[in-house]
Structure 1
Amino acid sequence: METLALLIAATLNAGTVLAIAALGLLINEKVGVVNLGAEGLMLCGALAGFATVVHLGVHPLGFLAGMAVAALLSLLFGWLVIYLNTNQYATGLALSLFGAGLSAFAGQPYTQFKLPELPAPHVPWLGDLPFVGPALFRHHALVYATVALALGLVWLYDRTRTGLVLRAIGESPESAHALGYPVRRIRLLAVVLGGALCGLAGAYVSTVYTPLWVEGMIAGKGWIALALTTFATWRPARVLLGAYLFGGVTMLQFHLQGVGVQIPSQFLTMMPYGATIVVLVLISRSPQWIRLHMPQSLGRPFHPGGM
């Protein structure tokens, strides 16, 4: 039971990174913008957060720094794809490559640092309960904030006028523009917010999850987060569940190695990415189901008349 509790706790921690980034990408895609630059955004956010904590010693400022850097890069991406109408897929790939290169170059002086361990999180009373305490109530506050964010997005998109407008822009930007909504401005705000969440996910990795800086430390998590939005059919609650599923697969490899399972470590390392491919293949067997839930303007530029 103790081993199972530790596995659940590790799953929540690993899934939180994916969930934050995937929810950010969901915000982008709900208004019709595809951002393939999540990997680069997370790397830059990780470096900015780590450097800030190294110099200032305050973790919340590290989170804010990671969000700010990724938001600025997302602002540039949004300006290119929304106002200059560059190809969203090519621009996103360029952003991912740029972020990887920039973080590798700027992060060289920080590879020698390691952050001090934070005090073990502990929810009063609940953290002392047997099994559920170590499994569910001894996590960083951002783990619980991520759950609240997912539930908040469910409420936003399903219960509010703002959510209806965002969904309308993703489905038919022409109709939203005809009703007087500033489609491009709203898309840009969504892109910046989504990018900031990717930066937050990166900062969480480098300051809390593995408190150090190593070149390429995101290790494909941005691409898995991108796949999660399709896996979840653009629904926030499913994004959260999918993130925990992939987080569990990631952590399972370490637990199998720990109990002495005789499987080459390379195969265990491949498990999260193999699971991503399998899920996408299964989803692709029903393209009509995907089209039913996918924002209709996803990836399409919008050209307002007379502008």
Structure 2
Amino acid sequence: MLLEVAELAVDLPAPGGSQRVVDRTSFSLAEGESLGVVGESGSGKTMTALALMALTPEGAQVSGSIRFEERELVGLGEETMRQLRGDRIAMIFQEPMTALNPLHSVGAQVAEPLMLHRGLAKGDARQRAIELLERVRLAEPERAARSYPFALSGGERQRAMIAMAIGCSPRLVIADEPTTALDVTVQARILALIDGLRAESGMAILLVSHDLAVIAGHCDRVMVMYAGVIMESGPVDAVLRRPRNPYTLALLEARPRPGAPRGARLATIPGAPPAAPDHRAGCPFAGRCALTLDQCWTTPPPQVAFGANHMSRCHRAGDVGFVR
């Protein structure tokens, strides 16, 4: 197994103590596999991804286990993590305009990991950077390499971020909302590009998204997060066609429906996600859930299995209807 995460917890500093934003999360990822992570904003998706890269905010406390290529990453020194980042593990950040340095050309930034991790000379690394920009189908790669990030479009910047991420042929690429703020045509091209690179190199992908259609079309498995907790996980087809958790079902029912009458109101989930996860003894979704029982407030929901590798954390998992 390429990546094995067990009981991962992330606590951030907060007034009067700490705030748990990822709560005892466990999952795995095999070579060449694509795992989607979905949930509302604030569900812990991005913080889970940052924990894998040891890029959590200053003062964060990370506990549990993250084993990558049989090496434990929790507690690993910063110098060792630097050797892994950009080489064995890479990340495509949510907003390339803020992730790219405006003071350096795109080509110099794509070339930097090649010099650090592959020992290439500056000229060789620059030539390889141009080849990578061409590989991600960026028009006029030489011009793009000379340009600064603000001179490129959103889609071009995202392609440059992908080129930087794949330069050293990492075994795991974490893509955090890689199509945010892009129009649907560019989104489709970026996702097709990531799929093609995965098929070509055999790298594994952890795809963080709020878009269920993206997850359905580009992932092998999915895990649904709420308030830092994995509520449901399993093969994409099983989870999204036959959900066994009220939260997953609520997300699916809130999607726009093709053919709906003009002006029809979208279904919504009552209430709002907690600004800070409230890790009471019971289920974090209690109260917003239409199936809430008294025990949901006080007793941790059990993990219930439905077939191979399909798990739901719910007291009433057997009562959840399939998506309509």
TM-score range, shorter chain: under 0.3
* Structure of greater Rg: 2
User: Which has the larger helix fraction?
Assistant: 1
TM-score, reference length from structure 1: 0.26
TM-score, reference length from structure 2: 0.25
User: Which has the larger strand fraction?
Assistant: 2
